[in-house]
Chains A and B, each alone.
Chain A
């Protein structure tokens, strides 16, 4: 009993050590005074200075944020409407649509990327429209974000008692207002999850962007890729550290709130 407990404790620590050690090393050496990644030569912030003066990185960060905001909003609108529509579709059509919806999630990113690249190239070649760049990037991101929005909204719609929508209409509410007044509040948590997922997936994506952006628009992951391909620069370490801290703060903030909330509901549900 006690031995097995100790063993699982040790195992857990080892796995998390494996997951975190590289990141910790990365962050530690972002403060190194020299370019070396193996020998500590003293504390310095020069790589952070370098980072914050790098026009390419800052520009790409801005592009990434723009793309993510637009893609998240568009994907959420289309996806939420789709989820509502799917709910009232006949069974056959719905299962076809859900299968199509799954494609970008099941397909390897590289296939999704090159397939859209083929489309954009063909359209540009034939009409001169949609030159691969910012617009194609947004379209591609919307495409791979929609499925996640749908999948986070659908369960909320399924949980909802369908009679409330009818009840609102029965009480004299016109359909659209009934929808906004009673259905929206019910599915709001799903929509929020959807927006957040779309935003982070878009920020994080490299592979699909790589194939669909052409040469005119560069997102942050694309810049990181070209930097790492040119071997190592402590600037990347500094960037990693900054991103890690931002993510950590965000995640802790979100989780702390969620955990506090869940704990409260848990307490009230508990019954010995």
Chain B
């Protein structure tokens, strides 16, 4: 079948023109000024935008942490449930994901606003009102709500493959439920955890929609800054490209670190 590799050529051309070259252009813009001369100024502008970048990283990390905290037990419960229950829960997890995430985020807008349903209900109990919308907490909540399934599904799919005989073997060798969880389930589920973390962290850090809808105008993240530099009133592609490049590199570094962490302990092997 060696000679058939030519059929991949449309793909190769497409990837080069619409993936590789655009990324090249991001780099080029990042290191040039408006006149096209080479410069480091754009990258150095990071200093100006540091607070946004820091906020993004912290909020992305917090959201990822909560997704893991909430999602891991559910993934475990799912993986040990009956087959029919597993299928049902999978479907229930996927269903909201099929609704556009703008609508999902919008749902929280109506709940969290000052005269929204939550404050209304609390008011009937004589509590509140609380200011919830347009806060950092609201943004994190939006991230957790939107991306929680991205954490659950990869962990579940790894756990589901752990053969029940491994649980029995651990049990047989004297491990109770907790010890089995700590010594067998957790190490084996680590690849799923890593995937889940990246799948939640990347969209959280780079979002500009959730921050705009739930954070109002005063909680800008790095995504909002980039968006503004490209489609805002005073566009500056060079600085925007530089920030995108930094964001990309930061994400790549954190993924590489995670990957390393994963490889240290695990090399797949037979999970039956």
Closest to B19 in A: A103
Return chain B residues, CB-CB under 8 Å to A19.
92-93, 96, 145, 148-149
What is the CA–CA distance of A163 and B25 in the complex, to the nearest angstrom?
44
Interface residues in B195-217 by Cβ distance below 8 A to A read 202-203, 205-209, 212-213
Whether a CB of chain B sits under 8 angstroms from the CB of A239 is: yes
A206 contact from B8, B18, B96, B102, Cβ within 8 A: B102
Query: Can you give 16 A-B contacts (C-beta < 8 A)?
Result: A8-B77, A22-B108, A81-B8, A85-B11, A88-B2, A93-B5, A108-B203, A108-B206, A111-B247, A119-B17, A142-B14, A143-B14, A165-B1, A240-B107, A243-B99, A247-B99
Give the chain B neighbours of A8 by CB distance below 8 A. 73, 77
Indicate whether A171 reaches chain B with its CB closer than 8 angstroms: no
Q: Using a CB–CB distance below 8 Å, which chain A residues touch chain B? A: 4, 8, 11-12, 15-16, 18-20, 22-23, 25-26, 29, 37-39, 78-79, 81-82, 84-89, 93, 97, 100-101, 103-104, 106-112, 114-119, 122, 139-140, 142-143, 146, 150, 162, 165, 175, 200, 204, 206-207, 210-211, 220-221, 224-225, 228-229, 232, 236-237, 239-240, 243-244, 247-248, 251-252, 255, 259, 266
Q: For residue A26, which residues in chain B have a CB less than 8 angstroms away from its CB? A: 103, 106-107, 110
A206-B101, A229-B213 known; A85+B117 contact, CB < 8 A: no
> Would you call B100 and A243 a contact (CB within 8 A)?
yes
Known: A110-B206, A110-B244, A118-B25. 5 other contacts (CB 8 A): A15-B74, A26-B103, A108-B202, A111-B26, A247-B99
Contact across chains for A85 and B7 when beta carbons are under 8 A apart: yes
The residues of B that contact A4 with a CB separation of less than 8 Å are 177
Task: Output the residue of A115, A207, A229, A252 with the most chain B CB within 10 A.
Answer: A115
Q: Evaluate contact between B11 and A78: CB separation under 8 angstroms.
A: yes
Q: How large is the interface on B (under 10, 10 to 19, 20 to 34, 35 or more residues)?
A: 35 or more
Assembled-state Cα–Cα distance A86/B7 (Å): 9
Q: B229 to chain A: closest CB distance in Å?
A: 9
Closest A-B pairs by Cβ, 7 of them: A85-B8, A82-B11, A108-B206, A115-B22, A38-B120, A22-B107, A88-B1
Query: In the complex, what distance in Å separates the CA atom of A210 from the CA atom of B21?
Result: 20
B8 CB contact (under 8 Å) in A18, A86, A116, A225: A86
Contact of A228 among B23, B95, B213 (CB under 8 A): B213
Given A11-B73, A11-B77, also A97-B15 (CB < 8 A): yes
Q: How far is the CA of A119 from the CA of B77 in the complex (A)?
A: 47
Closest to B108 in A: A22
Q: Report the bound CA distance from A87 to B8 in whole Å.
A: 9
- Indicate whether B248 reaches chain A with its CB closer than 8 angstroms: yes
Residues of B within 8 Å of A116, CB to CB, are: 18, 22
CA distance A19 to B144 in the complex (A): 10
Asked whether, in the complex, the Cβ of B96 is within 8 Å of the Cβ of A225, the reply is no
What separation, in Å, do the CA atoms of A221 and B248 have in the docked complex?
25
Q: How far is the CA of A87 from the CA of B240 in the complex (A)?
A: 38
CB contacts (< 8 Å) of A207 on chain B: these are 208-209
B110 and A232 contacting across the interface, CB-CB below 8 Å: yes
B117–A118 CB distance below 8 A = no
Residues of A within 8 A of B154 (CB): none
B91 within 8 A of A: yes
| B100 near A224: Cβ-Cβ < 8 Å | yes
Alpha-carbon gap, A232 to B104, bound state (A): 13
Contact of B10 among A29, A81, A204, A210 (CB under 8 A): A81
B77 touches A82 (CB 8 A): no
Given A111-B206, A146-B11, A232-B110, A119 and B1 contact (CB-CB distance below 8 Å): no
User: Which of A38, A97, A101, A204 is within 8 Å of B117, CB to CB?
Assistant: A38
CA distance A64 to B148 in the complex (A): 26
